[in-house]
Structure 1
């Protein structure tokens, strides 16, 4: 077949594959014509043969050539062919025995397919040059090569009685960790090939075999060999990577260079091919990263990234180019999940929890459409899996569920906390803010023992009004505080040490009451009365840092914590280190925070300091959830809850704090029933202590609204959001930042319900409040504009979306460095609005300043960016 004829066959095949089966015959009657305009039966037969082969989108590549059938040769060099064990698009694989008497050995002999096009024969010959460069225990070793007795090229590789890695793992019911260990061997083999300047380009289960060592169960025969990898299933598995038959040398200066695959020939396996392969572009090391991602997806889930059973090759290729594979954990809710989970020695619920978080993110990062957004190479992918197995933060970051500007809200939870004087936690898939004053109020220091009887008496008097100690009897709290403040000024004017201790006690109570301004002033006054590094100075600075953190001044809190850690006596340094770790978490430096907390927890456990251990465990739980490890977060929070319930009782406010944070994590883990039960318990405690009209009660009701919205109960969500809004307006005042948060939540519920006019009204209200309280150029005002931009886009109001995204982009560009996901997202929203208005000439200007491959984008935004640039 000539190249021109093949191009015509390929074009007709691609077009026919996209047509319904019942309509193909008419299409072929019309289009398959000879140069004189008459029918071309031979051409039609070739196209129909390819369509038949394509019917199940099988693993092999199309058979290129004239379909000749020849008997096998008697010999291939010194090898006698015994039985055919495999067949691919380019040739046959035979089990062979050494026949020249030099030594006894078996080999897998690969013969070129009869009638293969001349340039593909050259490619087959090139495989010998590629394999000759590779000497790795997990790569099939080249024994020799040459020309068989019938003139066909051949090569001989070490023969292994192995089976595809997916079959091997399923038959032995290997768990996730064991599968990852075997997969790590594969990554190392591919990384070695890349170091030798060779790309595989066809990584799939049938090219990754596992051979069992003697003593294990026998397996079917295939070609390959392997590197040892211990498993718990009894015996060892040796991995071998096979078939560099379509590999391409990267070293352009090499004395021999394999012919480049013609784009129209698309020599690949569609289900495992990277998008650039489908488009006919050059393969790179990133192509193999994609193939590894597809293999890992199947190892973990038992299905391929794109559920395309029974679909045509063209449909599979469209999915590779356009569709986003579901997160691996999501597949545990599909049909056949029980059997697939059983093959992994677990059940669907446990498998979902095991895959959710790190593994979801790692797999989808390897499978990203854009090569530059995947891992840098197989070694980087293997390192991230090792970090996951070691419980360390991974490089992969989560993608948003869809391109909605409301994803800005999720990323701005720390910024919202700065304006709301609290910590904002956002539940998964919820479009609004989910408020929680999480760990800030959990850091009250134990009261110092008083040496002076008068001071002891006064501190005890003040603490009668502390809401964390008074068990709900706070009717006289403000009277007590006013009286205590007056007594401090009058009775201790000449006693700075006692006055400082009393001011610390007063500051702590004001902090727990939510009067952060007075708490700030009292802590600063107390700290000024004591020499640096003394217990009183340390206590005042730790208290001041906690207030700064609650108020959202994370930079100020970090400075004070660092100062306290440097100057404090040894017994107080852990408190400062734990506080610093929490601030780093709020600033977004999650890896540094996690490392510090590991030190703090070890020291707390060694010291047996259960009171502070529970606080640090609470904060670690929230951190681990932020890191995408909700299972670990839940474990830490449950341990904190157990300690608090034993030490403080089930009805203490500190216990309720952890109940609520645990509920948020359980919500993120996809366990709404457990989350709701925990929210209800926390709500009951808060109501017992505070009654209905308290900001803690409102915060939990706001969280319940977010849970209802996540489950599609928009009426229930609105009911809870409105209750929170009413309480905050009553207790905190109409201008408090919490009010704007509740307004955004209500607007988001209307947005989800398609009530765009109502959503706009609430979003606009929140925008006006944020502009008044924060200033027109504040980044949170940009968030409000982005929300409106998304709303206008959904409502089909492209001109309004354009204006809103321009406002958002202006604020984000001023606040963030180039390439920040929020800034890029706003500019993509702007460009899309222009595109939908037919103003495509203005799109490049809208995207000016956006880097070629900005990190951290969700998949839909990244795809939209590529589309708009094209």
Structure 2
């Protein structure tokens, strides 16, 4: 008999996998004449049908070698390095990777991670591009219940690796079994899991391999999902070189996944259903890979650990989640979470037929204490049906009102109603004016509708930069809401919060604080925890930050984040992240501010919203934080990119002056004075376009004054700074930062052109106290150093000097990162003080190091570099190094020559030598 044509092992395995056990035996008899090949196929089939935990590395190596795809992970002893990470120990092995505990030194601290060294090599350019693309998407996935992907890379040998948050916990099923959790506790854990999965789905990331070993519970009872989206890194439908091994666990795979079909969010919903059944009963079913005749539904499985079968609502929920047809499953992981919460509350679940008797029975179950005996039972049923009918009537009335509101808004686009000729396109403001004008006549006496529409129009007026109109509308909305629903209704509190928001944008901080504190307290008392409550907390946090209550600002914004983090509103979640960054900045924690604002911007980009108005606001705020951290060039690059984009974005004119002013200031400090001049003039024009221009104009004039100081136009600078201070004195709120900045520029002019004793008098009022010096660490260090230098001058008034100024400056200097621009002028002043005190050699070494460090951000032509070179010339001459003194003097002269001939700073540099 002629042997069959040899078939590749991969094809034999995949063909056998699709058959029943009985069919497989006959198939292997026919196709595997070679006993060795048959043994390999049978071993692979046993591995596939075994427990869901990973295949050992030894078995994996044999399988890969047999298939001609031997890409095993090398054994790495402790101390080996992969990229920047040092291996500590092996903590797990799987079919696609070996997992190590690893660590690295990162930003001055030791960072421990779970390092996955993937078995799939990425030697091709396209494979590396795909890996990088998927990795970037996963890094952007931030959620408290999802283990974070930190970074990834490719080793010199082409092996891909990824570093993830190291989670100390155990699989959800083990956690529940060891603690003998009751059903309610298990359901609560599972609901949290579903919310986390839903958040990732909204970020357009599917897990693909959900199973108990990827749902960890920490010792504190917190859910952490592992390996979210990692399967996408290992297998891509469009990648012909994808790994042989399936990027999923067959026991939890949906039918379409096992069949090689499209992977969607429904795939994860199916796996969640399997996990739920196993969590509740201790048994697992896997119909996706079991022949139809042998499949069992979850309720037919006897529990191995809980002694319980699934019945009733639990059975219905698991069955609906694991429907073979994806269209018949829950629409999302969030919908499954909602169903679990209905179970926990004793409410009817959507998986059951919604009969009246079923709903009545659920009512009785929820109110057992009030239902006793047959008569009470019947009364309860009738009451339940009556409530249902009453609720249906309310729903019909509410629907009619919403329909009327929608018709009204749609009617505004009728050109005859908006007051423009046929064929013309009405402006947004024309539409709004027309709508506001018609409110009273269209809905007279209908307080609920008037409250809704006034709130809507108020919010839109805030967005287009018309806070006065928004304030009037919010006042009307609040009055109508009280009339419609009463003082303590959540909708009334929402209207009051809107009034507070409008007051905030009008700089009426006292009113804003009162309204928003009352509204948030009322919402909490009423049990409101929805988006209206989150929005009110956001606005309250903004007010607190403006009025110096920075710790309370952080608390308020964190509260808003907790409410919104699992919502479907992507833009609003990014907004609260941005606001949280602002709160941390107000509290003096710039690093946390940068982290939260970067998360906000990355969130926008990850969802394809990187150029919408909200994202551009965050980009401007990121630039502000970077500037505060001394990353001036990065900040200016962000702003140069931002302003042209904002010109193209609808609604982009609102508060544009803040960005153009920021660009003016950043260019000014980098001594790019022509660019700064253009941005300052643009900022003034933007400020004049604001509906309440006093504060914007005051701020912009202060920055233009700073620019004129650097241009050497001191008389004009003094005029700008004086007008800025005059306007600030008329504006409510905390203007201390702006007033302080103006005073710094006035002191700079005194330092440059004044007599030697004048800097003491100018600087003394500006010196920080030991309690508040860290809030402005960079500026405080420079002021203290220059004050200490002035005190070292011959004839300085001893009674005016503080002995600890230099020591405090040194302490603050140590907190600034290497390369921070403020380090150079601070070291310059301290080094000159050392020269005055007879320690020139130490001053020389210190200045040379500071110059090398400072040029990275300031460049070679910045006047601060010129001042440092002049100081180096003085120090070197005092130390007897004439060659260095000459070289430094020439460099100082070169930089001074770049300034206009009559610039006061040019004369100052010449005097300094």
TM-score, with structure 1 as normaliser? 0.40
Q: TM-score, normalised by structure 2?
A: 0.38
Which structure has the higher relative contact order (CA within 8 Å, separation 6+)?
Answer: 1
Name the larger-Rg structure.
2
